Amino acid sequence: MNMARRLFGHGFSIAQLEKLLGVRRSKLAILDRLRSRLLKRLEGLDAKIASLGGSARSRGGRVRNKVSLNESILAVLKRKGGPMTVGDIVGAVLAGGYSTKSANFRGIVNQSLIKDKRFVNAGTRGTYQLRK
């Protein structure tokens, strides 16, 4: 009798279901122990990183900045006083302390520049300035 081909719970005897549950519980216990060992190793690495003056990376979650991206862009463009390329804006925003985990931060900045009415295209592609 091939248990893998049957729908789970249909046609199994109680003994077969108990055996299947036992196998799954055993695998779960093994994975739990492995996870615990890996977490201990990770905590040890975090401690070593901290002892060298670094900070352990956060385990998920969104980065929270004191100022929104659009406000950061606004401050950068005000400081510059003239048109800037998207790449220059990205660099200045990051240099100003804005934190992000985005793999495509330049695209997000570009979308913000397009959507926010305070910013306008300066005439050449990829160059923006404050609305006058």
pLDDT tens for each residue of 46-89: 888 878 877 766 555 678 899 999 999 999 999 999 999 999 99
Domain boundaries, the chain: 3-51, 69-130
Q: What percent of the chain has pLDDT over 70?
A: 88
Alpha-carbon distance values, 24 to 27, 87, 89, 120 (Å): 5, 52, 53, 60
Cβ atoms of 87 and 106 within 8 Å: the answer is yes
Alpha-carbon distance values, 75 to 16, 19, 69, 93 (Å): 68, 65, 10, 9
Cα–Cα distance, 105 to 113 (Å, whole number): 12
Does the structural domain 69-130 have CATH classification 1.10.1200?
Answer: no
Instruction: Give pLDDT, residue 45.
Output: 84
